[in-house]
């Protein structure tokens, strides 16, 4: 009977759904192989002060180099890993590696001690009861000053369960770590909650920056978000800055920091080293 039902159920799936389920299962298996076979690596994208162009920090971005399929973008596998729970193991690895790698650059004075390393945290990680202990142990192992660590959370992560999110955020802040809201403006958070969250940094989503200076509405929204964030004592970072025009607009509107291809693509640790020394040379005179 079960078998029959199974067979009948099977027919409810369209060819397309069937294919996507199979792909999903294959990806799940490949993700666990990627972890054990060390196919993951990290790249770092600098964040730049729009006032004096110094490097304020770097954001860690995960990379998966699959032996046959080549580069698989995070937007494709992170949602799967989030669903299967594999993101917990991946996320711990990202957190620990980010802190180790950047902490060593800070200790060897390649980066100033005020530099922040920003790590993206998925909803599942944020809601994991062992998150705080994990963070504390990573800080201890990597010897990174907690003030150098920033966690990037999305609006949807925080809106899941607002009251418990506030408590978790407060615990994170007590350690000395700062909190950034990623992709701001694309989620479903309300201003009533934004004012209650202990947020340090607001990252204006790339979709608002993209069409500056062509789109009047995007310019109005970006300028208003910057002003609002400043009134709430938050630092504002613009994502996806690609052109000089965008940079001028953001500077005119007092945006604090920028991130994007205009300044730098995400870099390997070796490339980051190179970027830092060139950047220092350019800005020292």
Point out which residues bind Mg ion (CB under 5 A): 120, 152, 182-183, 239
Asked whether 250 and 216 are in contact (CB, 8 A), the reply is no
Task: State how far the alpha carbon of 105 is from the alpha carbons of 120, 165, 263, 278, 281, in Å.
Answer: 20, 32, 20, 16, 18
According to CB under 6 A, which one of 58, 62, 201, 247 is a site residue for ligand C2E? Answer: 62
Among ligand C2E, Mg ion, none, residue 219 binds (CB under 5-8 Å by kind): none
By the rule CB under 6 A, 102 interacts with ligand C2E: no
By the rule CB under 6 A, 74 interacts with ligand C2E: yes
- Alpha-carbon dihedral sign for residues 257, 175, 75, 69: positive
Q: Provide CB contacts within 8 A for 101, sequence distance 6+.
A: 42, 44, 269
Q: How many C-beta neighbours within 10 Å does residue 181 have?
A: 26
Q: Using the rule CB under 6 A, give the single segment among 8-16, 23-31, 138-146, 259-267 that binds ligand C2E.
A: 259-267
**DSSP secondary structure letters along 204-220:** E-HHHHTTTTT-HHHHH
According to CB under 6 A, which one of 117, 260, 275, 276 is a site residue for ligand C2E? Answer: 260
Q: How far is the CB of 16 from Mg ion (least distance, A)?
A: 27
Task: State how far the alpha carbon of 87 is from the alpha carbons of 70, 71, 127, 149, 237, in Å.
Answer: 20, 18, 12, 20, 26
Q: What angle do CA 96, 97, 101 make, to 5 degrees?
A: 120
By the rule CB under 6 A, 218 interacts with ligand C2E: no
Q: Provide CB contacts within 8 A for 17, sequence distance 6+.
A: none
Q: How far is the CB of 76 from ligand C2E (least distance, A)?
A: 9
Task: Please tell me the distance from the alpha carbon of residue 273 to that of residue 213, in angstroms, as a whole number.
Answer: 33
Exposure string (b/e) for 148-167, b if CB count within 10 Å is 16 or more? bbbbbbbbebbeeeeeebee
In the complex with ligand C2E, the residue whose CB is nearer, 181 or 285, is 181
Residue 200 DSSP class: S
Q: Using the rule CB under 6 A, give the single segment among 1-9, 71-79, 156-164, 171-179 that binds ligand C2E.
A: 71-79
Q: Map tokens 């078998």 to a residue.
A: 3
Residue 232 DSSP class: T
By the rule CB under 6 A, 183 interacts with ligand C2E: yes
By the rule CB under 6 A, 165 interacts with ligand C2E: no
Binding track over 225-244 against ligand C2E, x by CB under 6 A: ---------------x-x--
Taking the mean position of all CA atoms in its chain, how far away is CA 89? 17
According to CB under 6 A, which one of 78, 149, 234, 238 is a site residue for ligand C2E? Answer: 78
By the rule CB under 6 A, 75 interacts with ligand C2E: yes
Q: How far is the CB of 27 from ligand C2E (least distance, A)?
A: 15
Q: How far is the CB of 179 from Mg ion (least distance, A)?
A: 12
Site size toward ligand C2E (CB under 6 A) is 22
Q: How far is the CB of 130 from Mg ion (least distance, A)?
A: 22
Q: Using the rule CB under 6 A, give the single segment among 2-10, 21-29, 30-38, 255-263 that binds ligand C2E.
A: 255-263
Residues in touch with ligand C2E (CB under 6 A): 45, 60-62, 73-75, 78, 91, 94, 120-122, 152, 182-183, 240, 242, 259-261, 266
């Amino acid at each position: 009977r079960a078998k029959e039902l199974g067979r009948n159920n099977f027919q409810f799936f369209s060819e397309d759904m069937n294919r996507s389920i199979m792909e999903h299962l294959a990806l799940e298996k490949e993700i666990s192989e990627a972890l054990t076979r060390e196919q993951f690596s990290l790249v770092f994208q600098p964040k730049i002060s729009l006032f004096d162009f110094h490097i304020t920090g770097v954001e860690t971005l995960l990379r998966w180099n699959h032996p046959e399929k080549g580069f698989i973008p995070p937007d494709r596998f992170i949602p799967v890993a989030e669903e299967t729970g594999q993101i917990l193991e991946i996320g711990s690895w990202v957190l620990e590696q980010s802190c180790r790698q950047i902490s060593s650059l800070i200790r060897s004075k390649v980066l100033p001690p005020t530099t922040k390393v920003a790590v993206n945290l998925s909803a599942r990680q944020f809601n994991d009861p062992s998150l705080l202990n994990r963070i504390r142990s990573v800080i201890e192992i990597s010897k990174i000053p907690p003030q150098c660590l920033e966690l990037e959370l999305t609006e949807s992560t925080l809106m899941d369960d607002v009251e418990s999110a506030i408590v978790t955020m407060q615990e994170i802040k007590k350690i000395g770590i700062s909190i950034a809201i990623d992709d701001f403006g694309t989620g479903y958070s309300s201003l009533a909650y934004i004012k209650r969250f202990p947020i340090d940094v607001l990252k204006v989503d790339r979709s608002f920056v993209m069409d500056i200076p062509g789109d009047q509405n995007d310019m109005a929204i970006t300028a208003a978000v910057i002003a609002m964030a400043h009134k709430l004592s938050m630092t504002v970072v613009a994502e996806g800055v690609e052109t000089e025009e965008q940079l001028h607009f953001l500077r005119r509107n007092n945006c604090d920091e920028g991130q994007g291809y205009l300044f730098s693509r995400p870099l390997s640790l070796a490339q980051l080293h190179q970027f830092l020394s060139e950047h220092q040379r350019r800005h020292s005179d």
